[in-house]
Structure formats: structure tokens, C-alpha cells
Amino acid sequence: MVKPIYVLSGPNLNLLGVREPEIYGRDTLADVQTRVEARAKAHGLSVVFRQSNHEGQLIDWVQEAREAGCALVINPAGYGHTSVALLDALKTLAIPVVECHLSNPAAREDFRRTTYVSLAATGVVSGFGAASYELAVEAAAGLIGPATPQA
Ligand code: CA2
């Protein structure tokens, strides 16, 4: 059984497609999940797709991914700019970590230029709307190599 790619989304991303479409696009998080699952399936991989508005919940899922996941894709949303605790959890992972953002935080307000999560990320995909998630899963699939069943 090949371990899944964990795809985690942080606070307020449950509102995707509902509010601020000019910044974050019209795709809902359910649309993103469908696209991400299809992209993973093309590589013979599955996805655990979760969203939370709570920092501790995201940290619990990161810890779960240490044993249960083959890679982690995370859009930490606002917590990327604030959470040393989330960074500490990510630094415990031995699997690839791909940070993704719908927008390009570097092209927005100054406070979005500091992203703690990037310090633990293998790489970052930003600025492509919902496609950022698909590209991040594509990158994660490339980092883990061909899907081979594990004991
Ligand atoms: O561009 C991204 O994906 C962000 O991670 C989104 C975060 C923001 O704090 C980061 O700087 C960049 C905000 C997520 C808020 O999500 C919403 C979605 C729809 C409507 C309102 C908020």
C-alpha cells in the first residue's frame, strides 16, 4: 500500500470561491480537492485532503503525516506568516514538504514576505490560483519518485 500525499490547507481557505475571488479565484476548496486527487491518481498516488482554521489541528495532522504520508503539501494561509509552532512541526518531517499559495505573497503586503513555513519546505509554489495545489502535488510526486508499494 503506497502512503498518501497529505494536502493541508490553513485558516479561511474553506471560504475559497465564496469570498475575494479577485485574489483567490472562483474555484472552491472542493474543486481544488477534485483536481488534486486526479493529479495524484495519474501518478498512482492517493491524497489525504484536509482544511482547518485551527493551528493545533494543523500541527496534529503534520505529526500524523510523519508516519502516514509519503509527502506533505501545505498551504498554511495566514499561519505561514506567524506560526513558529507549525514550522517546528514541519521540521520534524523526513518526507518532502511542498508549500503552496494561491496568490504570490511576495507581490503583496510586506508582512506576507516572511513565511516561516518556507524554512522547512523543500520547495514553494505560489501565484497560480488553484493550479498551485496541482503543481505542488506534481512536484511532490516527482520528489518521492515512482509509486512503489511499501510493506
Ligand atoms: O495565497 C495564498 O494561498 C495564501 O496562503 C492565502 C492566505 C494569505 O494569508 C497568505 O498570505 C497567502 C489567506 C487565505 C484566506 O483565504 C480566503 C479564501 C477566500 C476568501 C477569503 C479568504
- The catalytic residue among 24, 79, 116, 133 is 24
Cell numbers describing residue 136: 505542488
Quick one: pLDDT at residue 18?
Answer: 83
119 C-alpha vs ligand 1 centroid, how far in Å?
Answer: 19
25 CB near ligand 1 (under 6 Å)? no
Which residue ranges form the domains of the chain, and what is each CATH number? 5-144 (3.40.50.9100)
User: Does residue 107 carry a pLDDT above 60?
Assistant: yes
| Straight-line distance from the first to the last Cα atom of the chain, in angstroms, rounded to the nearest whole number | 7
* Per-residue confidence band for 146, with pLDDT thresholds at 50, 70 and 90: confident
Decide: 112 in ligand 1 pocket, CB within 6 A: yes
Residue 20 grid cell: 475575494
Angle between helix 131-144 and 29-41 (nearest 10): 30
Instruction: Write out pLDDT tens, residues 21-43.
Output: 888 889 999 999 999 999 999 99
User: Is 101 a known active-site residue?
Assistant: yes
Amino acid identity at 64: E
Closest by CA to 47, choosing from 16, 17, 68, is 68
**Hey, what amino acid is at 35?**
R
Residue 141 has pLDDT above 50, yes or no: yes
Is the per-residue pLDDT at 151 higher than 50?
Answer: no
